[in-house]
Amino acid sequence: MQQKTGDRIIRKVLIFAMLFAGFVFAGSSAAFAQTKSVAGEWDAAMNTPGGVRNFKIVFMVDGEKLTGTVKRSAGDVPLEGTIKGNDLQFAYVVVYGGNDLTLSMSGKLEGDKINGLVFFGESGQSDGWSAKRAVEP
């Protein structure tokens, strides 16, 4: 009888240990699967009616809130938007032809690259935009 009780205790301990290991493994694999943060500096290019425009973007993330700066040759402008999982949306305003023009951008983060679409106010949509994470010096 004592042998059976000892066997049951050993089985319970082994089952507990296997379940615990399973939970630990599942949690660690979920952590590895999480997306790298979009925060930081990016080298970007946008297709426009006037040709390809290169610029830099600096993203800051606070939960799902996305803020930062678009660094352009014509001057830096602030951006605001959101990020949910790998999907991001943001907008910023530039002066074009003496008028404010809102550029609304959407994109998908894939590792150290972003690809998406840009909307030029109410005038239409470009072929897109892309960015790659800037290499730190």
Residue ranges covered by each domain of the chain? 1-34, 40-133
Mean pLDDT, the chain, rounded, equals: 82
Q: Each residue of 8-28: pLDDT tens digit?
A: 666 665 465 555 555 444 443
| 23 vs 114 pLDDT, higher one | 114
Residue 135 has a pLDDT of: 85
CA angle 92-84-128, nearest 5°?
A: 50
Cα–Cα distance, 77 to 111 (Å, whole number): 25
Q: Which architecture, in CATH terms, is 40-133? A: Beta Barrel (2.40)
Give the mean model confidence (pLDDT) for residues 28-55: 77
Residue 102 has a pLDDT of: 93
Q: Each residue of 73-93: pLDDT tens digit?
A: 999 999 999 999 999 999 999
pTM for the full predicted model: 0.71
CA angle 95-99-100, nearest 5°?
A: 55
